[in-house]
Amino acid sequence: MINSLFLISHSGDIFLEKHWKSVISRSVCDYFLEAKEKAGDPENVAPVLQTPHHYLISIYRGKLFFLSVTQTEVPPLFVIEFLHRVADTFQDYFGDCSEVVIKENTVTVYELLEEMLDNGFPLATESNVLKEMIRPPTILRSVVNTLTGGSNVGGTLPTGQLSNVPWRRAGVKYTNNEAYFDVIEEIDAILDKSGTTVFAEIQGVVEACVKLTGMPDLTLSFMNPRLLDDVSFHPCVRFKRWESERVLSFIPPDGNFRLMSYHVSSQNLVAIPVYVKQNISFLETGSCGRLDITIGPKQTMGKSVENLTVTIPMPKSVLSVNLTATQGTYTFDLTTKVVLWDVGKLNPQKLPNLRGSISIQTGSPKPEENPSINIGLQIQQLAISAGLKVSRLDMYGEKYKPFKGVKYVTKAGKFQVRT
Amino acid sequence: MTTMQRLLQLPVNAVNIVKTVQSQVQGHEEDKSPVLSPDSGQQTWYSALQPDELRHLRSGGTGGGGGGGGGGGGGGDQEERGSQEDGGGGGSFQSQPLRHDDLKEMLDSNKDSLKLEAMKRIVAMIARGKNASDLFPAVVKNVACKNIEVKKLVYVYLVRYAEEQQDLALLSISTFQRGLKDPNQLIRASALRVLSSIRVTIIVPIMMLAIKEAASDMSPYVRKTAAHAIPKLYSLDPEQKDQLIEVIEKLLADKTTLVAGSVVMAFEEVCPERIDLIHKNYRKLCNLLIDVEEWGQVVIINMLTRYARTQFLNPNINESLLEEGGGADKTFYGSDEDEDEDEEEKEKKAEAAAMAKRKPYVMDPDHRLLLRNTKPLLQSRNAAVVMAVAQLYFHLAPKAEVGVIAKALVRLLRSHSEVQYVVLQNVATMTIKRRGMFEPYLKSFYIRSTDPTQIKILKLEVLTNLANETNISTILREFQTYIKSMDKDFVAATIQAIGRCATNIGEVRDTCLNGLVQLLSNRDELVVAESVVVIKKLLQMQPEKHSDIIKHMAKLTDNIQVPMARASILWLIGEYCEHVPKIAPDVLRKMAKSFTNEEDIVKLQILNLAAKLYLTNSKQTKLLTQYVLNLAKYDQNYDIRDRARFIRQLIVPTEKSGALSKYAKKLFLALKPAPVLESPFKDRDHFQLGSLSHLLNAKAGGYQELPDWPESAPDPSVRNVEVKESVPEWTKCSSREKRKEKKVEKPFYSDSEGESGPTESADSESDSASGSESGSEGSGSASESEESGGVSVSEEEEEEEEEEKKTKKRELKKAVQESESEQSSEEEDRKHERKMKQQKSDSESESDEEEESESESSQSESDDSESEAEVRKKKKAAESKPPSKPAKRETTKEKKEMSLLDLDDFEPAPSPQVTPVNNLFSNSLVTDLEGLSLSEAVLLPATITPSSALKSYELLHRITGEGLSVEYCFSRQPFSPDANMVAVQMQFTNSSASDTKSLHMEDVKLQSGMRVKEFPEIELLPAGETATAVMGIDFCDSTQAANFQLCTHTRKFFVSIQPPVGELMRPVFLTENEFKKEQGQLMGMNEITEKLTLDAKCRNEHAIVQRVTTAANLSRVPCGSDKECSPPVPPPEHPVHRFAGRTVTSGSLVLVTVATREEGAAQLTINCEKMVIGTMLVKDILLALTQ
């Protein structure tokens, strides 16, 4: 399946390689680097490349390319999904998935890769199992390790592979037994110039943080499960129970995991929490333009909108902007030409406004298109689908009484206003 | 001083020398990187680039000699730097080889911590791709090290370098052999893993032995490792294949989920052609599938897709009654909630289904098992699993069921952009074959300006594939926004997409063309160029209408520089020079001037233009042509020289010129067929979807072709497992089932326990209601699964559905009872009457068809308002008519049966029994029944089917058909082979003197997306006889005509069938509330309202209902007003009539409301997502109501 993996930095430096079958020379990456050069934007590099003898399948995460080499037919999504799982594991282990962090932890990374694939076929990808074999570095342990010369490799042999519940390690013990669930809903929307909704939908996830002793069997039920149109689950969820009763029944992995993600039935109209009044115009002559954006609350269900950000990718010919914000601060990145306005909390009494002038390179024509406005926001204590509520959480199989908590958050997903 | 400054101080030649030396020593030097400092190894290698560089510098300085002091100084300085960074270990820097010696020393020491440190550094070197092979002897000694951490790292090293140092690697083998016998399963597994990863040919026999032993290990984990080892050994020594297959066979029989995925992977790599090994394990694999780990699922599903293609019959090609019946059943139950049959009818249905099972095609239960067991995996979090299931459904499922994958695939579009990229590629391929599936998700493919370009272009592709008459306006509006994008590649792709929409959908061609012409004045040259190219293609379809556009484009030659665009314009002018007689020579003149500076493709087109002008207008252009040809004669490009020579010979008459020159005009000015703009994803589905080969559209190494369906099903019994074996296996399965059941039951009980228990008291109060609710649900499903547990291949899903149905039915019955109690007996009569009227109208139109006098039919229309008695009489008359032409009827019926083979199963259900039952139903229910497309088909085929022709149209007139006349009508029956098709009933009458033989259709020409199911060939139509046949057409919700040739043994006739918009829908049942709800969602642009004055004869309810239902295949929505308008009570002032239907192909709702007012005024409202259909339907219904 996967022959080799190369980690390549943003600038094209190959800083880690791992081979699971015969060694493949790193010169194979030249094809990729060439394609990367051609594409310009790293996002635009085709994930699958064909070279005379190999196929290169890559992902771009955290300013890094994970490039895998394969010689035979393999489902591309299989590889892509696996590479993302690798990146997730790094994130999980080191708190970040960047070049610096990976270089700092080369040996652990190498050990992880060794465990995750055998002969190019995924072996152990569950974080619970991996953590039992290779302990994640902590500050304390790294201090201890330098003193005693120990390492991160688990001293004992793992048992997880052998239990009936492959995603949960055995013998978990906590003094405080807690289970937290975050219901996070994201609004994906495209609004047109006049503010009417071209397309809007709600995607949600239930993120869980379960720290429970033993082998708890949990059942999570919702007030209004009919609302869920399309769902996908962590493998621990018993699908049949969901089919028949619309409850989530599962033995959770230990720690943080994504329990499910869902799509809210498109029948329900999507509440758009904010409106954007915008006027961006470029003058035909004189190489300048105007920008005036006001944001106000629309359907917020009485909650306040926080962490409001506005991102505007400007046309490449824009030289600089001269704006004033009534609230928050704005920055203009000269290389990417992106205006980022960090508004903060939305005050309904005094609506935030950003206005000013844009100057364009002299001589370049007036930009054809007005830039689109991307909104980021967060509303605490609200699930925008208005109705999805966790009704109860039951635990079987263990005697103690866990502490349970549910939190609701609404965020803007891909929320774009066309201008 | 920084490194850079040091570098700058070097003399130039030194730098050059350094470079050469660097390249010489590179291989060597890299081994001696300064990573190996004792305690801060990672840190140094992280900044290792610098020291490396400078070390080269120094060696350059000394080795080359010419470096002089500068080089030496740099080196020296670097040494310091290096030692600083290296900390304690820096002292050894001056002598490179010592670095490895240090490590060797560390490895040889007794302290585990030192060994570990050394190993860590070595691994870090490997990770960076540095060569550490000369440490092999030192490392391999530690293979037996007690410290598990050291051991692991040694394994890593061994696996990496064993291939290069085969002899030394042998030293480690005995350790692994010992490990294989270890009591700890994990040590056994890891020993096998490393042993099999060492690519040393000598140990092949040892590996083989180890694998064989591990395959029968008691630990499933070790067996899994054995499965992993199989492909490793195979790649090392393919000669072992036969022995390995034996091991695979053994492991395939393994019943643990842990092994299943790995062994199938081994199977795929070693012997994918040995499909026979799967037979016995097929059912087990299907049943285990859901519990296998994600990666294994992907491999198993892909393999089973191939397997199923060889073992089962195509569910779509065969006119599979069971499938279609099943499919129809499903939609029927799903959409219609008025499940109002009696038990009696149910039984009949069951009978029918049972009979259906005896029909030639039945889906193999194993096929069904696969589909059912993979379906839940669409909910997997793993995109690869979802994609695997999606491709399985696409390749294996009956058409009606494929739709379920769309939602899951659309969900994946939220994922990482790489996932999106792959999914969109596959969706693009799917949309070509199964457009309807993704149409509801059209908006999910809308493009955001922040998407990467490659995603944008793929989304565009999908949008273009999804475009049809009904959604084209929305799509074009969307495209309008895209054209303004800053991303020019994307804009170009959008223009191409518009061009494709315009070619595919005739109605918008002019609009698109206008839009594109406007783009010609765009400031961006690329946009203009792309538009020119697309316009050229569009104009080729109808050039005569657009000479002004051609003129406009001719003017553009002065400005446009993009070669492709220039070439396109020139080609256009040349091709249609007759339409622009004045401009063309002038353009040639200009081009002749700039000829030498043009690109090659432009030059070729100039030659082309010159040649064409010479032929049509030699007077004006002779000299110019000569000039251009002369220029071309001396061109650098031989293609152009060749072309010039060729053209000259062809067009300029000389005494030598060959026979061809007189045909020059024909050659150059031949009518060229318009280009077909089609998707690059067309026909990609011959590659298995989701595969690498599909993505690249080229066969990748090791790709297994997706086999075609077999003609006849191979023996299904091969999958039967012997009883002795099967008992444990099935009990295993059922125990699995039971385990699940237990899980199902448990919460039910424990729930209630929990509520009473003290621990749950905290939340029991609020939960008691929901708890009991879920409890009752749970008990229902539990009992169900108990039932199904008995049946080996359980039909749980269906049963669940049935359960739902039952409850719905119960509700409905209640409603019926209520309404019945309220209704008087008169009401029932009335309803009866309406029913008969329906039949009457049917028979009337039939009489029409049978060439009765026009007057009667026109009179019949006025009958609507006549008394009941008259109606009855009419009906009788209609009924008595058929026997008067017994011969005709018989043939009709016979043919009918032949063509609708699948329907005659239902014939035993006699209609007379059905009708009285219906009579007992409430008023509303009868109308409901009208809406139940299937119930009609099932219950009344004998009476209605042959005579149900509504309005017939002429397909072929007696005169033009030389005695053969053909009429067709839309029978409004569901077309059973394909639910998305409209059934068209054709009646062939042979009025000539001779027999007509082998009547069939050929050469079907359709708009893209449309499909036709041809009627079976009629072998013989004797003179004077009549025959009927039914064909199905999927009009794709458009009123485009289906053109085809009707062939007899002697002649071919071009004919076309164009449906009235009202026939593009099938009735659905909605309650009034549902209707209003749906209507509420189809407001705005989707609503069309017209005021009208009802025809004088059409002011009562019957007339309105009758006319509307005649005009369009809709069903009446029973509403509150029904009660009000029952006869004895004075009719309500202004009743509102509602009708509902769905379009046949896409299933979009069509809602029609006729609200009557005073004095025959009325308001007609149509709500339909498909605006085109809506507008057309308004016209039709208006016409029906006002005349």
What chain A holds in terms of domains, given with CATH numbers, is 4-148 (3.30.450.60), 178-270+382-417 (2.60.40.1170), 274-380 (2.60.40.1170)
Which residue, A197, A239, A237, is CA-closest to A217?
Answer: A237
Q: Is B212 left (phi over 0), alpha (psi -120 to 50) or beta?
A: alpha
Instruction: Give the torsion sign (CA, A121, A123, A125, A126).
Output: positive
Rg, C-alpha atoms of chain A? 25
Distance (Å, whole) CA B1151 – CA B1141: 6
CB atoms A391 and B160 under 8 Å: no
**A265 near A217, Cβ under 8 Å?**
no
CA nearest B823: which of B1137, B1122, B1104?
A: B1122
| Residue B920 identity (one-letter amino acid) | L
In this predicted structure, what is the pLDDT of residue B834? 54
pLDDT, position B469: 86
Taking Cα atoms as reference points, which of A419, A374, A375 lies closest to residue A280? A419
What is the spatial distance between Cα B924 and Cα B831, in angstroms, rounded to a whole number? 9
Looking at the partner chain, which of A41, A47, A162 has a beta carbon nearest the beta carbon of B422? A47
pTM for the full predicted model: 0.64
- When CB atoms are compared, the residue of A82, A105, A416 closest to B450 is A416
pLDDT of residue A33: 92
What is the reported pLDDT for B361?
A: 65
Report the SS3 class of residue B973: strand
| Token code pair at residue B144 | 């037996």
- 8 Å CB contact of A77 and B387: yes
Which tokens is B111 given? 């302290």
Chain B interface test: which of A51, A57, A79, A106 (most B C-beta within 10 Å):
A106
**What H or E segment, with its residue span, contains residue B1137?**
strand B1136-1143
For B342: left if phi > 0, alpha if psi spans -120 to 50, otherwise beta; the answer is beta
Alpha carbon B220 to its chain centroid, in Å, reads 38
By the CB < 8 Å criterion, does B259 face chain A? no
Coil, strand or helix at B363: coil
Helices (H), B365-450: 365-374, 383-396, 399-402, 404-412, 417-433, 435-438
Which residues 6+ apart lie within 8 Å of B220 measured at CB?
A: A162, B254, B256, B258, B259
Q: Does B652 touch chain A (CB under 8 A)?
A: no
Residue B1179 CB neighbours (<10 A) = 13
pLDDT of residue A418: 86
A128 near A253, Cβ under 8 Å? yes
* CB-CB neighbors (< 8 A) of A367 in chain B: 486
Cβ–Cβ below 8 Å for B113 and A149: yes
**Chain A touched by B127 (CB under 8 Å):** yes
Is B270 within 8 Å of B235 (Cβ atoms)?
no
Q: What are phi and psi of A332, to 5 degrees?
A: -125, 120
> What b/e readout covers B592-606, taking b as 16+ CB neighbours within 10 angstroms?
beebeebeebbbbbb
**Mean pLDDT in consecutive groups of 10 residues from the start of chain B, 1187 residues:** 44 44 43 40 39 41 38 38 37 45 82 84 87 85 81 87 84 86 85 88 90 89 91 89 91 88 91 88 89 90 91 71 39 38 49 50 84 90 92 89 88 90 92 87 88 91 90 88 84 89 84 82 77 82 74 80 84 83 87 88 90 85 88 90 88 69 78 76 84 88 85 80 45 39 38 37 39 40 40 43 51 48 48 51 44 43 46 48 44 40 38 38 40 37 40 79 81 77 82 80 76 80 81 80 81 82 83 81 77 79 82 78 44 75 83 82 83 82 82
- Residues of chain A in contact with residue B225, where contact means CB-CB under 8 angstroms, are 118
Cβ atoms of B668 and B625 within 8 Å: the answer is no
Chain A, nearest residue to B391 by Cα: A75
- What are the phi and psi torsion angles at B683 (to 5°)? 60, 15
Q: Would the CB atoms of B407 and A46 count as touching at under 8 Å?
A: no
Phi, psi torsion values for A289, nearest 5 degrees:
-150, 170
Structure tokens at B741: 């059941």
Q: Which residues have a Cβ under 8 Å from the Cβ of A280 and sit 6 or more positions away?
A: A289, A290, A291, A292, A293, A312, A358, A370, A371, A419
Residues 1130-1159 of B with CB under 8 A from A: none
> Among partner residues B290, B421, B754, which is closest to A394 by beta-carbon distance?
B754
The reported pLDDT for the residue numbered B461 is: 92
How many contacts does A have with B, using Cβ atoms within 8 A?
300
Dihedrals phi, psi of B542, to nearest 5 degrees:
-150, 75
Cβ proximity of B1132 and B1124 under 8 Å:
yes
Please, which residues 53-82 of chain A have a Cβ atom closer than 8 Å to chain B? Answer: 55, 58-61, 70-78, 80-82
Say how far apart CA B242 and CA B239 lie, in whole Å.
Answer: 8
Nearest to B127 among A16, A60, A394 (CB): A16
CA distance B590 to chain A (A): 29
Distance CA B100, CA B114 (A): 14
Tell me which of A9 and A361 has the higher pLDDT: A9
Kindly tell me the burial class for residue B563, based on how many C-beta atoms sit within 10 Å of its own C-beta (0-12, 13-18, 19 or more): middle
Given the structure tokens 């909650």, which residue do they identify? Answer: A303
Q: Indicate yes or no: CB of A80 within 8 angstroms of CB of B418.
A: yes
Q: Of A59-63, A309-313, A386-390, B894-898, which range is least confident?
A: B894-898
Rounded CA separation A395/A392 (Å): 10
Check if B539 contacts A (Cβ < 8 Å).
Answer: no
> Which residue from A minimizes the CA distance to B693?
A73
In what order do the strands lie in the sheet containing B964-974? B952-956, B964-974, B982-990, B1026-1034, B1011-1013
In this structure, the dihedral spanned by the alpha carbons of residues B203, B205, B210 and B216, taken in order and rounded to 10 degrees, is 160
Helix (H) or strand (E) holding B522: none
Coil, strand or helix at B478? helix
- Tell me the residues of chain B between 747 and 766 that have a Cβ less than 8 Å away from chain A: 747, 750-751, 754, 759-760, 763, 766
Number of neighbouring beta carbons within 10 Å of residue A218 = 25
User: Which H, E and C letters describe chain A, residue by residue?
Assistant: CCCEEEEEECCCCEEEEEECCCCCCHHHHHHHHHHHHHHCCHHHCCCEEECCCCEEEEEEECCEEEEEEECCCCCHHHHHHHHHHHHHHHHHHHCCCCHHHHHHCHHHHHHHHHHHEECCEECCCCHHHHHHHECCCCHHHHHHHHHHCCCCECCCCCCHHHCCCCCCCCCCCCCCCEEEEEEEEEEEEEECCCCCEEEEEEEEEEEEEEECCCCCEEEEEECCHHHEEEEEECCCECHHHHHHHCEEEECCCCEEEEEEEEEECCCCCCCCCEEEEEEEEECCCCCEEEEEEEEEECCCCCCCCEEEEEEEECCCCEEEEEEEECCCEEEEECCCCEEEEEEECCCCCCCCEEEEEEEECCCCCCCCCCCCEEEEEEEECCCCCCCCCEEEEEEECCCCCCEEEEEEEEEEEEEEECC
Contact A234 B290 (CB under 8 A): no
CA distance B701 to A32: 20
Select from A53, A52, A84, A79 the least CA-distant residue to A68: A79
CB B707, CB B306: distance < 8 Å: yes
pLDDT tens profile A97-138: 888 888 888 888 988 998 888 888 888 888 877 887 787 776
Residue A341 pLDDT level (bands cut at 50, 70, 90): very high
Residues A398/A174, Cβ–Cβ less than 8 Å: no
pLDDT of residue B304: 92
Chain B positions in Cβ-Cβ contact with residue A371 (cut-off 8 Å): 449, 486
Please name the helix (run of DSSP H) or strand (run of DSSP E) that holds residue B1047, with its range, or none.
Answer: strand B1042-1047
Please report residues of B whose CB lies closer than 8 A to that of A68: none
Q: How far is B677 from chain A (nearest CA, A)?
A: 25
B contact test, residue of A232, A259, A390 with most B CBs within 10 A: A232
Which residues 922-981 on chain B approach chain A with CB closer than 8 angstroms?
none
Cβ contact, residue pair A73, B444, below 8 Å: no
Interface of B with A in 169-198 (CB under 8 A): 184-187, 193, 196-197
- Sign for the CA dihedral angle at A26, A103, B419, B370 comes to positive
DSSP code per residue over B570-639: HHHHHHTTTTSTTHHHHHHHHHHHHGGGS-HHHHHHHHHHHHHHHHH-HHHHHHHHHHHHHHHHT-S-HH
Tokens, residue B671: 């009518």
What percent of chain A has pLDDT above 90?
18
**What is the Cα–Cα distance from B741 to B746, expressed in whole angstroms?**
8
Strand (E) or helix (H) holding B1027: strand B1026-1034
Q: What is the pLDDT of residues A203-250, one digit of tens each?
A: 889 999 999 988 889 999 988 887 788 889 988 888 888 888 888 999
Token pair for residue B80? 């310091």
Cβ neighbours of B1102 (radius 10 Å): 15
Helix (H, G, I), strand (E, B) or coil at B953: strand
Task: Centre a 10 Å sphere on the Cβ of residue B183 and count the other Cβ atoms it contains.
Answer: 6
- At residue B812, the 3 state secondary structure works out as helix
> Which secondary structure element, helix H or strand E, spans residue B1033, and what is its range?
strand B1026-1034
- Asked if B1129 reaches chain A (Cβ–Cβ under 8 Å), the answer is no
